[in-house]
Amino acid sequence: MDGTANALTGRGLALSFGGIEVLKGLDVEFRAGEITGLIGPNGAGKTSLFNCLTGAYRPQKGAITYLGHALDGLSPAARAGKGIVRSFQHVALSPDLSVLENVMIGVARNYHAGWLHAFLPTRRGTDEMAAMRAAAEGALSELGLAGLEHKLPSELPPGMLRLVEIARAIVGQPAVLLLDEPAAGLNNSETRDLMRTLRKLATSDLVMVVVEHDMDLVMSICDRIYVLNFGAIVACGSPQEVRANQEVVRIYLGDDDD
């Protein structure tokens, strides 16, 4: 299938802080049905690009479109309402909520019964809560976390917390899934499981973008890879093409591979 019609695109994206250019007029296209990798050395601009795509940062120049519609000016919440969700480089779970409740937050936008339900339970509210709970249990199970629903985040090791955050990102069946260093803190076997899960999630209508320093993961699950350096794209292509690119080898893979 040609996923370009369902792509998330950025054209001429430029972002600077206090005169320092962080993104230098980037053109990117993240296609449905593909896993796109975004790699590059520390400080290259990968997270800043994610922040522009989700609306947390407003680029000074350029345009972002999804399904051909402009997203510029939309808040992060409005973009999330369109199914554009992300996970964070640093795990951001609510410490006082259980694992299940943290994941249910990912589908909270499907909850319409309102706060009154907390005091006067309604049929609608009860049904919505049950559906949210079932969705959260399904997402946890998909990430191999069944049985941990009632734990608090403080009771889980860092690798599992990252998986909980990914469960929260996928529970609402996003249209665009932006994962910022999903394998950070995972051990080898958790990373392998995550790779299988991400490949399984990569359906023909999902746009998935992964920022990651784990080259084995990037090279084995991504269909296409963008390489950033100092806010500019220095290469884009299949894992094989990127591996063979001498500029990439020089600036990045040569230093950090394996």
Smallest distance, ligand ATP to C-beta of residue 42, A: 3
119 near ligand ATP (CB under 6 A): no
Residue 99 and residue 156 in contact, taking contact as beta carbons nearer than 8 Å: yes
Dist. CA 110–CA 129, nearest whole Å:
9
87 near ligand ATP (CB under 6 A): no
125 near ligand ATP (CB under 6 A): no
Dist. CA 167–CA 40, nearest whole Å:
26
Measured from the CB atom, is 128 or 214 closer to ligand ATP? Answer: 214
Number of residues that bind ligand ATP (CB under 6 A): 11
Taking Cα atoms as reference points, which of 208, 211, 205, 203 lies closest to residue 227?
211
17 near ligand ATP (CB under 6 A): yes
Smallest distance, ligand ATP to C-beta of residue 138, A: 31
Dist. CA 56–CA 76, nearest whole Å:
6
Measured from the CB atom, is 9 or 47 closer to ligand ATP? Answer: 47
47 near ligand ATP (CB under 6 A): yes
Q: What residue type is 71 in one-letter code? A: L
Dist. CA 194–CA 163, nearest whole Å:
8
154 near ligand ATP (CB under 6 A): no
Q: Report the b/e string of 60-76 with b at 16+ CB within 10 A.
A: eebebebbeeebeebeb
DSSP state of 15: E
Measured from the CB atom, is 152 or 232 closer to ligand ATP? Answer: 232
Judged by CB under 6 A, which stretch of 44-52, 119-127, 158-166, 198-206 contacts ligand ATP? 44-52
48 near ligand ATP (CB under 6 A): yes
229 near ligand ATP (CB under 6 A): no
Task: Give the residues lining the site for ligand ATP (CB under 6 A).
Answer: 17, 22, 40, 42-48, 89
